Structure 1
Amino acid sequence: MKVVTHSGTFHADDVFAFSVLREALGAFSLVRTRDAALIDKADIVFDVGGIYDAARGRYDHHMRDLPRRSDGTPYSSVGLIWRDYGRAALSRLVPGIGEDMRDVVWQDVDTSFILAIDQADNGIASASQGHLALLIEAFNPTWDCTQSYDEAFLEAADFARGILLRACRQAHAEAKALSLVQAAARQARDSRVVVLDRKLPWEKAVFEDDLRDLLFVIYPNEDRTSWYCRTIPPEPGSFGQRLSLPESWRGLQEEEFSKAAGIEDGVFCHPSGFICGARSRESAIRLAEKAIAAGR
């Protein structure tokens, strides 16, 4: 299979598009050129050629009538390639990913990662210092460098692969966490308290599933030597609490906290009243129950 993109200076969209194709298709011949004859003979062409026709494997986006997302945002080459080849790429980027997770992870990576490259490449969002787009562009050879653009492109692509891999695996981990929190919420004895058997991201499930009754989430620390009782914020990213921990607990530790909370193995209560802890699962659950009773 022959794949073509443009020669010379490269940007984040063509570098990441190549990285996605490499994972989706495996080995293929890449040619970086603007030669119309070579472009015409290629199986897949992206970011060059002046044609967008997915059925023919043509993925340019530099024409007046450029391809757009459903919300009107213009695609860059990586957005188009991810749309058509991203699901296949996930098989290598996230080994063992199940079909039940594939679309969820694909969508998460598209909206949280690929979209930002589309926006920057099309001038919709500015690429400030440190932006991923500028980091990739920094791989272009300087005027006094002997490295070729093609060599630099492949070096940038290796760097991009590591970022893409981490983005996909993080999205997969979040999707699995979402499923686990949803299951715990369904099994909860009290809809106001969810108990997790490990520490994992839970906020997304709370707000995407609209768990309006939930007030506390219980989970262990990494080595399971203690368990946390964490309040639920009123909205994502907020430092507020739907129900704060009792004022009489706040700022206390160990024996003082245990005595104030009425348990035997208390560890601490944060001064702001958003989290407290105990050394056992049972005590952490009791802390939530006592906080709910005190807040009535």
Structure 2
Amino acid sequence: MLRSFLAKMTENAAKRLKTDITIGTHNGHFHADEALAVHMLRQHVPTYTGARLVRTRDPKLLDECHTVVDVGGEYEPARNRYDHHQRSFATTFPDRPTKLSSAGLVYLHFGREIVARRLAVPEDSEQVALIWRKIYESFIEALDAHDNGINAYDPAALAAAGGIEKRFSDGGFTLGAMVNRLNPNWNDPVPKDPQEAQAAEDKRFELASTRIGEEFDRDLDYYTQAWLPARGIVVDAFTKRPDFDAEGRIMVLAGQSAPWKDHLYTLEEQGQEVGKVLYVLYPEKPGPDAKWRIQCVPKSKDSFQSRKPLPEAWRGFRDEKLDELSSINGCVFVHAAGFIGGNKTFDGALAMAKKALE
């Protein structure tokens, strides 16, 4: 069945493949959203393989394009028009609050196909729906928000909290900033010939589209080839938690470590937990001689604060001294911040977790 499905997909792709397809977007200063929109279409949707790019604001030239993104003032999927700048536009991804940019619009309409092709499964499969949403929330949504001028935090709420300020500068290095740095500087020389100037600008845009596309492709590969296979491992470990702690506070990834945070939070949100997981145990590598790690579960996905850090008296110590302080043999280390530690054996790591619960 799968083989026939793939054969049909390939046959349909061949039928749709055209060399005269053009994608239109605006010229001038470019942004991450249209750079990614163009990449997704040309690199992941067979209809647009080999499509020519036209960067212009001339309505007549845009009318001649097969598909237009981020310019033209129209959102009409039936006509392949994907702009979001019109006053009436308010489209969001399902069950998300952020207004879409051209990246979000293209992903909304073509994302399932992109994910399905990478997984080699039908578009209506559960795996496709899961990853389609996950990639939007982890990658695309930030671009949508940035292009639409939406702050990550509510400014009024921050002001009400007492004017919280960042402790350090992160340089503002985001995906959007990465693309923006590929625009020419204000004082860079510009060719006098208009066609040469446009060609130079288009070359920069192509570089930006490729660059952000590489990051998108890495995310696509990660979620389809690593994150999704890890789900079954985490579900199994989550189910077996009472084997190690009656209240379900210790989760053991036996055999091999796998990405667990996203899946753990999802499982807890679904109300399947006996109790909140505080510690996750996993081997450093596959094999019977592997050392084991004990990691504290963060309070939230992006937090550095643990639900229950390892005991303060253990932090920053190693080896025999840590054995002495903990009364547990085989200790390797506990990080000074108390969020992770290690032991030479599984039994030792489990003993550390149980004692840390006290």
For the aligned pair, the TM-score class normalised by the smaller chain equals: 0.7 to 0.9
Secondary structure of 2:57's aligned partner: coil
Aligned partner letter, 1:29: R
Q: Unaligned stretches of 5+ in structure 2?
A: 1-17, 153-170, 192-198
Partner of 1:122: 148
The corresponding residue for 2:165 is none
CA distance in 1, matches of 2:51, 2:329: 64
- Do residues 192 (structure 1) and 258 (structure 2) align? no
* Counterpart check, 1:282 vs 2:325: no
> What is the aligned-residue RMSD (CA, Å)?
3.1
> Is 2:209 the counterpart of 1:144?
no
> How much has 1:59 moved relative to structure 2?
0.9
* More contact order relative to length (CA 8 Å, sep ≥ 6): 1
SS in structure 1 of the partner of residue 341 of structure 2: strand
Q: State the TM-score, normalizing by the size of structure 2.
A: 0.69
Structure 1: distance between partners of 2:336 and 2:312: 9
8 Å contact kept, 2:332–2:343: yes
Match of 1:40 among 58, 63, 67: 63
SS at match of 2:293: strand
| Alignment correspondent of 1:239 | 305
One-letter amino acid of the structure 1 residue matched with residue 239 of structure 2: R
Distance 2:121 2:63 in 1: 36
Q: Which amino acid aligns with 1:177?
A: A
Q: Tell me the residue number matched to 1:131.
A: 174
CA contact (8 A) 1:219 1:227 kept: yes
Matching residue of 1:6: 25
Gaps of 5+ in 1: none
1:1-296 mapped onto 2 (5 Å cutoff) = 1=18, 2-9=21-28, 10-22=30-42, 23-25=44-46, 26-69=49-92, 73-90=98-115, 94=118, 99-125=125-151, 129-142=172-185, 143-146=188-191, 148-172=200-224, 173-188=226-241, 189-190=243-244, 191-196=248-253, 197-210=255-268, 211=273, 212-222=275-285, 225-236=290-301, 237-242=303-308, 245=310, 249-259=314-324, 261-270=326-335, 273-292=338-357, 295=358
Shift of 1:261: 4.3
Worse overlay, 258-267 or 59-68: 258-267
Instruction: Give the letter aligned to residue 149 of structure 2.
Output: G
State the alpha-carbon separation in 1 of the partners of residues 313 and 27 from structure 2.
Answer: 66
* Percent identity of equivalent pairs: 30
Q: Give CA deviations for 1:123-174 in whole Å, capped at 9, x if unaligned.
A: 2239x84333233133234551445222222121111211211232344433
Retained in 2: the 8 A contact 1:221–1:228?
Answer: yes
The count of residues paired between Structure 1 and Structure 2 equals: 290
Q: Distance in 2 between matches of 1:270 and 1:37?
A: 63
